[in-house]
Amino acid sequence: MTLLNVEAAIPSQTWAVVRLLTYLGKSIALDEARALLSPPPLGADEAKPRPPFDSALSSLQDLGLVHVDKESKELSLASEAKGLANSDDLHTYTYILRRAVLDAEFNKELGADNEITGPRDLTRALAWFLMHDPMEPAIDWLTAQDLVDKPDGKDRKLLRPEIRNLFTNATRWNRFGHWAPALGFAAAPLFRTEGVSPLVPDCTVAVKHTVSGLWQPGQRINAVEALQVLRENLPVLPGGSHSLSVGIPTPGENVAGTALSFALLRGDDEKWIRLDHDDDARQILHVHDPDRPASPRPVSDITILEADHG
């Protein structure tokens, strides 16, 4: 099942299923889980939309995070989700969910066709979205259509011709509006703007979460090496494998790109990382700084200052 179409789950619905299983600490009969999370309404009607539980279950199965035993019909956690310790651990679940959505096995040859099974349509949309500058006006559904879905759209030429119709209707954009912020790749505009559900390509949450999972407070990492590792773990960033697969050019092996630069500068300002510069360093990362757009900020190393506790 695609993650952006009308019958797909939204992240909060998948969390409800996972939270039930972590609270119980064991598997549960599928019918019992359905009854607890999606009780039948009065006057049930076959014509009514698919229950959220069924959508959540389908999406979680597609992502390999839950398993239904064919014989016993028992529902249980699977893969990395089995490591969740308690029912309130949304922070870790978000980390696991993001890794599942971006998993290479679910996103093979993204640019080869317009296949939308599993997370592929969301992954393509994230890669396109994160090529934009968070300091530019927020993107809403109409803007997204103008940029990428119309034949003469400014971004159309950057995507492989096989990729079409990322946001052909408001439903797909609204679903994106649930998934992108939940995975830490988007935020609402700081100030109220006009438009249909505007979003800013702010990946700070995903970057902070990933940095915390990779390195310990006090560690100092070469900034260019850190860029490579972040792109491997968040391959929808410009220069990452998913972004390259859909046709978006890389900013460069030592250039952070505007979206990642924004996250790194926020991290430095919020003091969960420190961006250092050593004049004698052999490798320098170029970070786009809105205060000096004509001259990128040179960064030689990144020092981790604090862990991310959600």
Question: Please, which pLDDT band fits residue 5 given cuts at 50, 70 and 90?
Answer: confident
Task: Give yes or no for residue 41 having a pLDDT over 80.
Answer: no
Question: Please, which pLDDT band fits residue 112 given cuts at 50, 70 and 90?
Answer: confident
User: Three-class SS of residue 130?
Assistant: coil
CATH 1.10.10.10 domain locations along the chain: 11-92
Determine the pLDDT at residue 60: 96
Q: What are phi and psi of 288, to 5 degrees?
A: -75, 120
Taking the model in full, what pTM does it have?
A: 0.94
The CATH number of the domain covering residues in 11-92: 1.10.10.10
pLDDT digits (tens, 9 = 90+) for 9-26: 999 999 999 999 999 999
Report how far residue 181's alpha carbon sits from residue 186's, in angstroms, rounded to the nearest whole number. 4
Measuring CA to CA, which residue among 174, 200, 2 is closest to residue 101?
2
pLDDT digits (tens, 9 = 90+) for 227-279: 999 999 999 999 999 999 999 999 999 999 999 999 999 999 999 999 999 98
